[in-house]
């Protein structure tokens, strides 16, 4: 049987998912937000299955999820609006709670909303990387047209789930 983890804390590979889920629940319990929903999960559901309303079901909006399902995401318009709202960090769950995000690193200065919109609209030109202070990567992304779209897509996802940091290693600032 293979083992993964630090030398002092070996966990069998077949138990890893269970251990991560338990760790996540413990962190949520310590912070007093056991029932709070995740920014990254909401963004990925919105991006991949938003036209079916799965993101709304996840956030606890059952009636809106059904309506979004029946209308195919409002013919795509509603799905697009939800995708942007989750991506810029403005979506809340049905209880009015903010979505859980990674703990902020450093002193957040750059806006997640601005970074997401730049990445989504002109990310293939590297504008999002220039905004975040990665001048060299911005030039490279510009020259390669966002890595033929792949790099641009990865950056949209990283910003949308709240994992992107600026050039100084600071988290992005979330709007309230």
Contacts of 6 (CB under 8 A, 6+ apart): none
Q: Is residue 1 part of a domain?
A: no
**What domain range is 140 assigned to?**
104-176
* Integer CA distances (angstroms), 65 to 47, 57, 144, 145, 151, in order: 15, 5, 39, 36, 31
> What's the confidence (pLDDT) of residue 7?
45
pLDDT over threshold 90, residue 165: yes
Residue 102 binned pLDDT confidence (cut-offs 50, 70, 90): confident
Residue 36 binned pLDDT confidence (cut-offs 50, 70, 90): confident
Residue 103 binned pLDDT confidence (cut-offs 50, 70, 90): confident
At 6-23, the pLDDT tens digits run 444 555 555 555 655 555
Q: Specify burial of residue 32 (Cβ count, 10 A radius: 0-12, 13-18, 19+).
A: exposed
Least confident range of 11-25, 31-45, 66-80: 11-25
- Mean pLDDT throughout 71-90? 92
Tell me which of 67, 91, 115 is where a domain ends: 91
Q: Is residue 98 part of a domain?
A: no
Instruction: Please count the CA atoms within 13 angstroms of the CA of 53 that sit on its side-chain side.
Output: 17
Contacts of 89 (CB under 8 A, 6+ apart): 39, 99, 101, 112, 113, 116, 162, 174, 175
- Mean pLDDT throughout 43-59? 94
Tell me which of 59, 91, 123 is where a domain ends: 91
Q: Is residue 27 part of a domain?
A: yes
pTM: 0.75
At 134-161, the pLDDT tens digits run 999 999 999 999 999 999 999 999 999 9
- Whether 86 and 115 share a structural domain: no
Structurally, the chain folds into a number of domains equal to 2
Q: Is the CB of residue 41 less than 8 Å from the CB of residue 52?
A: no
Tell me which of 91, 122, 140 is where a domain ends: 91
Helices of type H across the chain: 16-31, 39-49, 54-58, 62-70, 72-75, 77-87, 112-122, 127-131, 135-143, 145-148, 150-160
- Whether 79 and 144 share a structural domain: no
Query: What is the Rg, in whole angstroms, of the alpha carbon atoms belonging to the chain?
Result: 18
> What's the chain's average pLDDT?
84
pLDDT over threshold 70, residue 163: yes
Cα separation, 47 vs 132, in Å, equals: 23
Q: Is the CB of residue 172 less than 8 Å from the CB of residue 112?
A: yes
């Amino acid at each position: 049987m293979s083992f993964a983890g630090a030398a002092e804390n070996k966990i069998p590979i077949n138990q890893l998912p269970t251990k991560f889920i338990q760790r996540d629940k413990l962190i949520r319990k310590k912070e007093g937000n056991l029932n709070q929903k995740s920014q990254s999960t909401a963004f990925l559901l919105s991006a991949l299955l938003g036209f079916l309303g799965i993101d709304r079901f996840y956030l606890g909006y059952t009636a809106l999820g059904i309506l979004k399902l029946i209308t195919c995401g409002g013919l795509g318009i509603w799905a697009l609006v939800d995708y942007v709202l989750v991506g810029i960090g403005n979506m809340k769950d049905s209880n009015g709670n903010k979505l859980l995000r990674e703990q902020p690193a450093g002193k957040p200065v750059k806006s997640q909303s601005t970074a997401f919109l730049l990445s989504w609209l002109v990310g293939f030109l590297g504008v999002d990387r220039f905004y975040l202070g990665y001048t060299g990567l911005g030039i490279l992304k510009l020259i390669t047209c966002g890595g033929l779209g792949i790099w641009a897509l990865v950056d949209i996802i990283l910003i949308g789930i709240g994992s992107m940091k600026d050039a100084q290693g600071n988290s992005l600032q979330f709007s309230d």
